[in-house]
Structure 1
């Protein structure tokens, strides 16, 4: 084993100044990295802080625009009226009043027509009730006219009764010799007649009465029919 030479070992070691020069750049590099990271973090924080107010401002602007749109839509009609001149506003109100008046007039006309129809219906019912109650007396008057002579006073009363019913639209029908019509004649007897070519009224037992097209009572008659 060779002998350890102290002087040679010490001479081979690097100087302290060289070691200080090499460590300084490494430390500087570390410091530079830390500084760069800090700068980047600060920049990011600054950018994020700037982005949040910008987003809040954008949302606030959107909400404000929506509110303004609703207010504008709600006030559109009012602004339309505000743009009218006093004469135009007066014409518009007059047109609205005229339309409302026309609707009221149409409703009144319909009501009046319905009331008139109801009144006429009630009137006819009243006449029918009175006529139905007086039918036996009217049949007796007709029999007296046919089978006996009436004095002047009784004849005057009978004529007044007939005219009164005519005034209310009551029509008496049923005459000897007219064609038989089952819609207005009630045949109580059919008797063969060699001279008859078709069914005709031979005898009126009770006259018929009607109001307009409505038959109150069919005429009760004896019908002469052809033998075949």
Structure 2
């Protein structure tokens, strides 16, 4: 700023000089800021900040974030965990019981099925025993020859595959559980009750006795 005489009243006043360093844009006609700080004007060699009313946006104050609400305390996990463990143990015991019952049921069904199959096979073979007796008598008399011999051998083989086992031979010790004694005599040639003659052979199917052997027994003197 400089001192000068006022031409109107002769008083000495201080003249205010405003220096605007902005340049006019030749294309848009708008002033461009050439200063280091945008929106500042020079008054008396001093810089002042631009007024928000001049068009410069005022710094907006951002609201502070509200403090996070205190989290609610979580329920105790110990009691819930113990409850879940108790339910798991109960379900495990139920599963084990059902598994054991099912295993016993399967065993019982398999056993019943096996017994039913054995009984059915035994019934069929029992009906064939008279035919096998006729084959034995024909073999003893020498009549089992020709095609009849082949049929008899095939029938005997099939019965053996089904589990039929014949027993009862001369010289076997007498067993009242397996032999049916129809004649008794004494003999000095035996030291215990012995089958000296077999009139009809006996048959078994597995552990099952289908028919006892009909024999004559000699007791020691």
TM over 0.5: same fold? yes
- Superposition map of 1:77-116 within 5 A: 83-84=80-81, 97-116=91-110
Aligned residues: CA RMSD: 3.0
User: Alpha carbons of 1:189 and 1:98: their partners in 2 closer, same or farther (altered >3 Å)?
Assistant: same
Which one of the candidate residues 150, 154, 158 is aligned to 1:160? 154
Distance 2:105 2:133 in 1: 41
Match of 1:197 in 2: 191
Q: Counterpart of 1:209 in 2: which secondary structure? A: strand
- Confirm whether residue 178 of structure 1 aligns to residue 172 of structure 2: yes
- Confirm whether residue 211 of structure 1 aligns to residue 205 of structure 2: yes
Structure holding more helix per residue: 1
Structure holding more strand per residue: 2
Q: Deviations over 1:141-197 (max 9, x none)?
A: 111112214225333333333333333332211011111111111111123434333
Match of 1:49 in 2: none
Question: How many angstroms does 1:96 deviate by?
Answer: 5.2
User: Alpha carbons of 1:107 and 1:191: their partners in 2 closer, same or farther (altered >3 Å)?
Assistant: same
Q: Counterpart of 2:81 in 1: which secondary structure? A: coil
- Superposition map of 1:133-144 within 5 A: 133-144=127-138
- Confirm whether residue 224 of structure 1 aligns to residue 182 of structure 2: no
Number of equivalenced pairs = 147
Q: Deviations over 1:13-43 (max 9, x none)?
A: xxxxxxxxxxxxxxxxxxxxxxxxxxxxxxx
Distance 2:77 2:136 in 1: 80
**Does structure 1 conserve the Cα–Cα contact (< 8 Å) formed by 2:135 and 2:144?**
no
Q: Counterpart of 1:195 in 2: which secondary structure? A: coil
Distance 1:101 1:209 in 2: 47
Question: How many angstroms does 1:95 deviate by?
Answer: 5.4
Match of 1:127 in 2: 121
Structure 1, unaligned stretches of length 5 or more?
1-78
Structure 2, unaligned stretches of length 5 or more?
1-75
